Amino acid sequence: MSRTPVNPDQDLSGLGVEALAEIVFRQPLDSGLHRLMVAKRHEQGDELAALAHLIAANAIDTFNTGTTTVAGTEVSPARQLYMVATGYFMKGDYRVAEQWYQLVLMMEPDMAEVYQNSVVIHLHFGRHEEAEKCRARAYALQRVFIEPVKNPLRRLLILCTGRTMGNIPYEGLLSAEKSQRIKYIIDYADEAEDSRLPPYDLVFNAIGEPDVAVPLTARLTHFLAHCSRPVMNLPETVARTRRHLLKERMAGIAHVQVANCCRIDPGDLSPESLKRLLTEEGIPCPVLVRPAETHGGQGLVCCATLSQISDQLSAGPVAHYLSHFVDTRSSDGFFRKYRVIFVDRQPYPYHLAISSQWMVHYHTSEMTEFPWKIAEERRFLQDMEAVLGKNGMAALIDIGQRLDLDYAGIDFTLLPDGQLFIFEANATMLVHRVSDQGPLAYKNAHIQKIADAFEALQARHMANPSIPSNPV
């Protein structure tokens, strides 16, 4: 990026938005260019983008005068631009967010949050080496991140790992107004830092991926041994949600089925050894092969033969889960995936995705293109018991108790005989709101019930810190 201003005699008013945007981000510290973009975005009807460039123009003028805060605020110019960039980041517009973050770093090269969010952006575009560099840079600079809140009801310490996929996505779960969120990247912090944390009232262990949490057992145990505050989602309970432990964990619950599953650590496994292992574990082909520490179908492959399984296992030095693929198509030929969230062990419906593909994802299931799919999801959200039946509801209650987590979730389908077939059950279940103006706006009322239940759980912990709490 160049800091050289545009030639003042050069007339850029006739350029289109895209051409001008390219110039702006080649010369991002030219406030005049950003003001031109304000006008262009107004003409285009993109008021949010116009506002972003207006904020940028004012922040750059402030920065160029050497002033440390923007007039009328206590916010630095770089912080103002960080909020613009993060708005695009939260919408998933990663290319635009990345451009804005680069401008932020020109003003404040040591802003850890920029490197933190850049990890997600690099991973999204498959730039793994750059992601690791940003991760190391972020957490070398800072390991405690405090969100400013006026008059919060509580100060909530959130234990996180620097490895993004290891954390519970808590943004849609935790109120940013009632809880002051103190994010602690504990795997990058040494033990001495635990005693230097800012004051907090309650702890939420957001390290929900057990394959990430288990190697951190000693570190988390040390923290808990010196923590006198209530802790939600105790690490040892999270550790028991590894995929290959699910069937045993759910054993004895009526009206529930779970596929056989085993975990294979990295290393050479001969075809004969693989065949013998699958036979011993009761896992016939076809087999689902999934790298450990992954969610959302990342790296998940359905293999029809031992040869295909071997190829997948040799693709990289990572542990894998192998589970029997069960065709759970409904009588109409569609695959269904119900998601239920447990808050304090009680079930709340979150969504139903209906797809023609066996790997069911809500965002690829074309829910909004078929009114009948929307109608079916609405029925599930409005009356879960009517859809699942009394046996299904009783099973869910038992599953919540068996998981024994303050926050967790389950993905499952409903078999023709009314049994629940569980795909996975763990703490790393995403809950997020959708646009209030879109066709899925009906979901937000049910998402709010989940958030309200979690808020009530925090309030109960504050009122009676002995239940359930850190047993140490």
Average pLDDT of span 32-52 = 84
Number of domains into which the chain is organized: 2
Report which residue type is found at 85: A
Classified as helix, coil or strand, 194 is helix
Of 283, 308, 324, which residue sits at a domain end? 324
Q: Which domain holds residue 310?
A: 260-324
Average pLDDT of span 75-85 = 89
Amino acid 177: pLDDT: 80
Q: What is the spatial distance between Cα 414 and Cα 191, in angstroms, rounded to a whole number?
A: 46
Give every CB contact of residue 447 below 8 A, 6+ residues apart in sequence: 172, 350, 431, 432, 433
- Examine the pLDDT at 10 and tell me if it is beyond 70: no
Partners of 156 in beta bridges: 181, 202
Amino acid 435: pLDDT: 84
Is 235 part of any domain?
A: no
Is 21 part of any domain?
A: yes
Is 103 part of any domain?
A: no
Average pLDDT of span 39-54 = 84
Amino acid 279: pLDDT: 95
Amino acid 404: pLDDT: 97
Q: How confident is the model at residue 7 (pLDDT cuts 50, 70, 90)?
A: very low
Question: Is 176 within 8 Å of 204 (Cβ atoms)?
Answer: no
Amino acid 4: pLDDT: 41
Q: How confident is the model at residue 3 (pLDDT cuts 50, 70, 90)?
A: very low
CATH assignment of the domain containing 298: 3.30.1490.20
pLDDT tens, residue by residue, 324-358:
999 999 999 999 999 999 999 999 999 999 999 99
Highest averaged pLDDT of the listed ranges 5-14, 196-205, 287-296: 196-205
Q: Name the percent of the chain lying above pLDDT 90.
A: 65
Q: What is the CA 268 to chain-centroid distance, rounded?
A: 32
Q: What is the spatial distance between Cα 149 and Cα 177, in angstroms, rounded to a whole number?
A: 6
Of 89, 113, 146, which residue sits at a domain end? 89
Amino acid 255: pLDDT: 97
- Examine the pLDDT at 25 and tell me if it is beyond 80: no
Sheet holding 407-414, edge to edge: 256-258, 420-426, 407-414, 335-343, 346-355
Amino acid 12: pLDDT: 61
